[in-house]
Amino acid sequence: MGEFDLITHYFKTQQNPQRPDVALSIGDDCAILNCPPSQQIAITTDTMVEGTHFLPTISPKDLAYKALATNLSDLAAMGARPAWISLALTLPEVDQDWLKDFSETFFEVLTKENVSLIGGDTTQGKLHCISITAQGLLPKGKALRRDKARVGDYIFVSGTLGDSAAGLALLLGQKNTELKNYDAPIFAENYVVARHLRPTPRIALGQYLLDHDFSQCALDISDGLMADLTHILERSHCHAELDIEKLPYSEELTQLFSLATCEKFALTGGEDYELCFTVPEAKIQDFKKAILSSDLPVPVSCIGRITDGAENKITLQRNGKVVDFTFTQGFDHFSK
C-alpha cells in the first residue's frame, strides 16, 4: 500500500465529520476554511515521538486518543471551540491492523467533538511520530491567556491531579518503590493507568469560563502544576501561594500511594491535562454559586492565590505555614 492509498483508505473517509465551514478538505495542496466574521482562529501544534512522549507498547487506539486529546486540551485552555485538525503521521512500516485501530479511534474522537480532519501528511521513519495541528474558534477579542493573571486572583484547578504520573509509574514498573498499598483493588491501578493513556480535555470548562467571563487566564497542566503555573507567573509578572492541603486527589490515587507521593505526582508529575485557571476576587462569589448550579462534568478546586511578590515564584503552604518542597523542573525536551 502506497502513501496515497493509505491516506484514501484510512483517513479520507465518511467517518470524518463534515463541517459546513470546510470549503475544501483532504485531496488538494491546501485545505480552505471559512471563518465567521465575529470569530478568531486559535491554532496549536504538538508532536509525539515514540520513546519520548509515549511508550512503544502503547496500543494504536490509546495513541490516537491521546494525540488528539492533548491538542484539544490546548484549545480548551484558551476557551476555544475545536473545529479542524491536520495530521502528520510517521510510520516505520505499513501495518494495516495498526492503522485500522488508530484511524477508528481517531475518527471516534473527531466525531464526538465535531472536528474535521482537513489534511496532513504520511511519511516513513524509524519510529512512530504523530504531529497534529488543531484549530479552534474564539469570539473575536476574547481568549483565556497566560498573561492575564492579576494580584488577588484565586487559583483553581479542574478535576484531580497526579493520576497520570501515577499511571505512568505503574506502566514503568515503579510500584515496588512508590506503592503504599500492595493490596489496593485492581480497579484503582486501572483507573490511574487510564488517566495517563486517555486524559480528558476540559473543552466545556474552558468555554464556560470564557463565555461567562469568570476568568481571563488559564492553561492546561501538561508538564506538572508547578512548572505550568510558573508559565502564568512569568507572563503575568506575579507570585503565587499554593495550599498543598487543598490539592485534589482521586480516591484511586490515595488508595495506591502515600500522601507524600500523591503531592509529588500532583505538583510535578504532569500530563493530567486538567485546567489551571484564575478567578478575580470581585467575581469569586458569583463563580462559586454558578459552578455549583452548572452542569459541567468536572469539579473544580481552589488551591491558592495570586499575590504581589517575587515574580515567577511559588510559595507552598500547608495549613498556613510555609513548607519547603524540592522543585523538580517540568518536562523539557532539551534539558540535560
- Confirm or deny that 120 is annotated as ligand binding: yes
Domain 3-139 coded CATH 3.40.50.150 = no
CB contact set of 94 (below 8 Å; sequence gap of 6+): 1, 6
**What are the grid coordinates assigned to 124, written together?**
516513513
- Confirm or deny that 228 is annotated as ligand binding: no
List the end-to-end C-alpha distance of the chain, in Å, as a whole number: 41
Q: Are 18 and 119 in contact (CB under 8 A)?
A: no
Compute the average pLDDT of residues 118-126. Answer: 91
CB contact set of 114 (below 8 Å; sequence gap of 6+): 17, 19, 82
**What would the pLDDT profile of 222-281 be if each residue is shown by its tens digit?**
999 999 999 999 999 999 999 999 999 999 999 999 899 999 999 999 999 999 999 999
**What would the pLDDT profile of 31-43 be if each residue is shown by its tens digit?**
999 999 999 999 9
Residue matched to cell numbers 493509505: 6
- Confirm or deny that 331 is annotated as ligand binding: yes
- Confirm or deny that 222 is annotated as ligand binding: yes
- Confirm or deny that 29 is annotated as ligand binding: yes
Computed over every residue of the chain, the mean pLDDT equals 91
Bridge partners (DSSP) of residue 179 are 257
Sequence letter at residue 171: L
- What 3 state SS string does 115-168 have? CEEEEEEEEECCCCEEEEEEEEEEECCCCCCHHHCCCCCEEEEECCCCHHHHHH
Rounded Cα distance between 272 and 157, Å, is 11
**What are the grid coordinates assigned to 200, written together?**
480528558
- Confirm or deny that 45 is annotated as ligand binding: yes
- Confirm or deny that 27 is annotated as ligand binding: no
**What would the pLDDT profile of 124-180 be if each residue is shown by its tens digit?**
999 999 999 999 999 999 999 999 999 999 999 999 999 999 999 999 886 555 566
Domain 153-322 coded CATH 3.90.650.10 = yes
Q: Break the chain into its structural domains and give their ranges.
A: 3-139, 153-322
Q: What is the pLDDT of residue 336?
A: 46
**What are the grid coordinates assigned to 164, written together?**
497520570
- Confirm or deny that 44 is annotated as ligand binding: yes
Global pTM? 0.91
- Confirm or deny that 133 is annotated as ligand binding: no
Q: What is the pLDDT of residue 327?
A: 53
Q: Are 159 and 299 in contact (CB under 8 A)?
A: yes
Q: What is the pLDDT of residue 94?
A: 85
